Structure 1
Amino acid sequence: MPRLPGVTVLWRAALTGALLCAIGLLPWLSRTDPALTVLKARSAERDPAPEVLAAVREQLGLDAGPLPLLGRWLGGLARGDAGESWISGSAVLPGVVQALGVSLLLMTVAMAVALATAGAVCARTLWLGAGGRALGTRSGGAAAMIASLPEFLTASVLATVVGVQLGWLPALGWYGPPWLILPALALGLPAGALLGRMLDDSLPGAFAEPWALAATARGITGRSIARQALRRCFPGLLPNLGLFVVGLTGGSVAVEQIFDIPGLGRLTLQAAIAQDLPVLQAGTLALLLLAALAGGLARGLAQLMLGPVLRDGALQSLHRPSPPARSVLPLVYGGALLAVVCAGLTRDPLVLDTAARLRAPSWAHPFGTDALGRDVLARVGHGALTTLALALAVSVAALLIGVALGLVPRVSGAAVDTVNAIPPVLAGLLVVGVAGSGPYTPALAVAAVAWAPLAAHTSALLRQERATTHLTATRALGAGPFHLLRYELLPAVVPPVARHALLRLPAVALALASLGFLGLGAQPPSPEWGLLMAENLPYAERAPWSVLAPATVLALLGALAVSASGGVRLRKPVRVRGLATAGPRQAP
């Protein structure tokens, strides 16, 4: 049954309207006086006298309530007028358009860095597969380390070391192409490492397909085979690539803050904190339109690349039965992570020793001390209990929701684009407004958006799997929808999506840390990792160990997740290339 464009447009419009309404209610949801917040943003020194607050309410029309305000804003938007900023009094639309242009330029360069990084990550698999060699276990440890580095930490290190100490590139401002390089690296390297690992996961299936075996037998060059393998695997990743585009545009808040870039993410954050609703709503609407455009282009390009094989059911399944990867690396990474946590748990994370402030690592303090003289190892160990437990719980919830919604793409397609357009910081503010601030606020905020990439991946794989020859044959033998879902579709879709969820486990921990870094999560003296890095970041140049310690533990978590993801496989053995070819499936 074909999808009805009108229904899809209405569903997307309803979701957009609901989100804009939620943003319009943000000051009232947070149970604060919007007039007081606006007054503090305009002039922090001004006395909030009742008559002053009354004048602000009258000027902004706050006494009418949120719904009339939203109605006036939507009415002006229909005329091309997004209103005036509550803080500066200037027109909103020109500022949002300018900030969007800056973010799009930064996103373009960051995406080029991400694609180059992805190519480097899967270069070994491409070289071995194109040459007809067996594809062994891929650890991906280096890629995991890169993907697990917090963007704000990478940006701070690049700005401090490359920009300030070495002076190779400008570190602050936005004045021309040289100012693009460092922030693009901070954004593109982690995204490219994750994208490369996902592509590397699909390539062995492409090299095992009959066309690749036939091309090798006919003497086709390895470069041509590798290029066609990329073309075969890329459509399944295009939905997530579209999500990366939106995420790099609106989710680069910390990077834009550190490098002083006047982008849309920073503008949205500042508007959200100041409760400048016209700017916040216009910025969010710009992200939603970008998400719809990027999602539509990604789906159209995937359709163009696959051609008529989806209609004719002539595809081979990329995700074939394979043995679990046997490697000692998960034990090594897991043992190192466990050792750090256990060592930290034996120490008190709250003991202050002002005489030992910012001490370098020693036998007494293996990870050094922070600016208050507290043991960094103790704080990392105790913070792991909260950070890792929350990250694991959010990842499991995101996997279950993502797979469930990905199986019904007509319902989830527009929701994925809409949810992905919400920066985690804005999601955190909305959750704070509804549920209040607390240690679990970041988990609720990240869980609200973390399922979207997994749902997009599930839908893309499901679409291709339904067009495979073995499914057509099984259907012709009389198999019903439940049999096909239980014994054919789910076994082919769930393992790669589960591996994807494991690859995103460090990203979930990173998102939790980022919200803590921005002050939306746990509060001092909690040893939560994001707060830990935020507290010590001002001392990174003088005492780098205070920041590198939690960042290294995050990197260990990434390496563990990537190496362990090789064990999430189907039960039947896979045979790769001419030495061993994949056998036919047998319906149970």
Structure 2
Amino acid sequence: MEKRVVNKKTQFICAAMLAGLLVIMAFIAPWFAPHDPLETDFLHILEPPGLLYPLGTDQVGRCILSRLLYGARISLGMTFGILIIIFVLGMLIGIVAGMRSGFLDTVIMRIADTILAFPDLVFAIAVIGLLGPGIINTIGALAIIWWTKFARLSRVLVRTAVQSDAFLAGRMAGAGPVKQIRYYILPSIFPPLLTQLSLDIGNMMLALAGLSFLGLGVQPPTPEWGNMLSESREYLQSAPWLIVYPGIAIFIVVVVFNILGDSTRKYLDPGRH
């Protein structure tokens, strides 16, 4: 058992280091990018990978490598930004619903059930269609959808925590609502919610890339991986590197963060095989 826990801890550390390396590379992109991601070079349009442009250029002569590096900042930044919003929002709503059973709990859960009745991307497309495309509206649309998952999980965990002996003893000792949440609720619900958060990183990145691919997310000429895939559709046969490199970037990042999420779940729950 001890050896298994050590192995899970090692896997978690390795996955966290690899994910951290990707994040660091994304946010120091200006140090590595050989060109301005928005700079056009009409003398080197659709140029294959070479010395001047290591990953080639796009249809207006922009450096693919530079756009990939800067696009990582947009993709990862939006992913983490949305997840932090829905994590905090869903956790707070779940705590309120879990501790205040009755009419308020019923209303919150029925709203969550209504939102969950629609497929995620279909609902997001409908919301963005009403609000208009763009970064802010994309973040808002996905936040409207994804908070329900964290709220429902948080509510279930709170319901379990309030029945524990420690919570009942604290309430009998005169602990107020704030102290109850701080010392008895949050320590119980935070690890499972953090696990869910880590598991959703890859899914959120795919959702953002999908919306940008459909023209509903980040708008050109801002470098973003889904947007780059969308722009490269017309050049699949004549310049395949336009779609290959963004696709590989999305694949690598999603796989790394999925491994991180799975190792986080195993590390925080050592008893699970």
Tell me if TM exceeds 0.5. yes
Equivalent residue, structure 1, for 2:61: 373
Q: SS at the partner of 2:232?
A: helix
Say if 2:38 and 2:62, in contact at 8 Å, map to a contact too. yes
Matches within 5 A, 1:269-288: none
- 1:430 paired to 2:99: no
Please report how far the alpha carbon of residue 440 of structure 1 lies from its aligned counterpart in structure 2 after TM superposition. 2.4
Distance change in 2, residues 1:522/1:489 (3 Å): closer
Equivalent residue, structure 1, for 2:4: 134
- 1:472 paired to 2:165: yes
Distance change in 2, residues 1:497/1:560 (3 Å): same
Equivalent residue, structure 2, for 1:529: 225
Matches within 5 A, 1:110-125: none
Which of the pair has the greater relative contact order for Cα pairs under 8 Å at 6+ separation? Answer: 2
Equivalent residue, structure 2, for 1:403: 91
CA distance in 2, matches of 1:337, 1:351: 24
1:339 to 22, 25, 37: 25
CA-to-aligned-CA distance 1:158-198 (integer Å, 9 cap, x gap): xxxxxxxxxxxxxxxxxxxxxxxxxxxxxxxxxxxxxxxxx
CA distance in 2, matches of 1:537, 1:521: 17
Matches within 5 A, 1:76-95: none
CA distance in 1, matches of 2:73, 2:270: 41
Please report how far the alpha carbon of residue 433 of structure 1 lies from its aligned counterpart in structure 2 after TM superposition. 2.7
Equivalent residue, structure 2, for 1:66: none
Say if 2:213 and 2:229, in contact at 8 Å, map to a contact too. yes
Please report how far the alpha carbon of residue 328 of structure 1 lies from its aligned counterpart in structure 2 after TM superposition. 4.0
CA distance in 2, matches of 1:139, 1:359: 45
Matches within 5 A, 1:37-436: 134-138=4-8, 325=12, 327-339=13-25, 341-342=29-30, 345-354=33-42, 356-407=44-95, 408-409=97-98, 410=105, 411-422=107-118, 423-434=120-131, 436=132
CA-to-aligned-CA distance 1:321-352 (integer Å, 9 cap, x gap): xxxx5x24433343245336345644122333
TM-score norm. by structure 2 comes to 0.75
Amino acid at match of 1:136: V
Amino acid at match of 2:17: L
CA distance in 1, matches of 2:156, 2:74: 34
Say if 2:161 and 2:185, in contact at 8 Å, map to a contact too. yes
- 1:513 paired to 2:209: yes
- 1:459 paired to 2:155: yes
Please report how far the alpha carbon of residue 140 of structure 1 lies from its aligned counterpart in structure 2 after TM superposition. 11
Please report how far the alpha carbon of residue 528 of structure 1 lies from its aligned counterpart in structure 2 after TM superposition. 2.2
Unaligned regions of 5+ residues in structure 1, if any? 1-128, 142-324, 578-588
CA distance in 1, matches of 2:221, 2:48: 21
Equivalent residue, structure 1, for 2:243: 547
Distance change in 2, residues 1:405/1:541 (3 Å): farther
CA distance in 2, matches of 1:463, 1:542: 58
CA distance in 2, matches of 1:329, 1:546: 29
1:439 to 115, 119, 135: 135
Please report how far the alpha carbon of residue 431 of structure 1 lies from its aligned counterpart in structure 2 after TM superposition. 4.1
Please report how far the alpha carbon of residue 491 of structure 1 lies from its aligned counterpart in structure 2 after TM superposition. 0.5
Say if 1:391 and 1:505, in contact at 8 Å, map to a contact too. yes
Amino acid at match of 2:5: L
Distance change in 2, residues 1:134/1:561 (3 Å): closer
CA RMSD of aligned residues (A): 3.6
Distance change in 2, residues 1:551/1:465 (3 Å): farther
Say if 2:45 and 2:57, in contact at 8 Å, map to a contact too. yes
Please report how far the alpha carbon of residue 462 of structure 1 lies from its aligned counterpart in structure 2 after TM superposition. 2.9
Equivalent residue, structure 1, for 2:193: 497
Equivalent residue, structure 1, for 2:101: none
Distance change in 2, residues 1:139/1:365 (3 Å): farther
CA distance in 2, matches of 1:337, 1:552: 16
1:563 to 235, 260, 263: 260
Say if 1:333 and 1:556, in contact at 8 Å, map to a contact too. no
CA-to-aligned-CA distance 1:358-388 (integer Å, 9 cap, x gap): 4443333233333433211111222233332
Say if 1:424 and 1:449, in contact at 8 Å, map to a contact too. no
User: Which has the larger Rg?
Assistant: 1
Amino acid at match of 1:135: V
CA distance in 2, matches of 1:342, 1:334: 18
Distance change in 2, residues 1:509/1:373 (3 Å): same
CA distance in 1, matches of 2:65, 2:117: 37
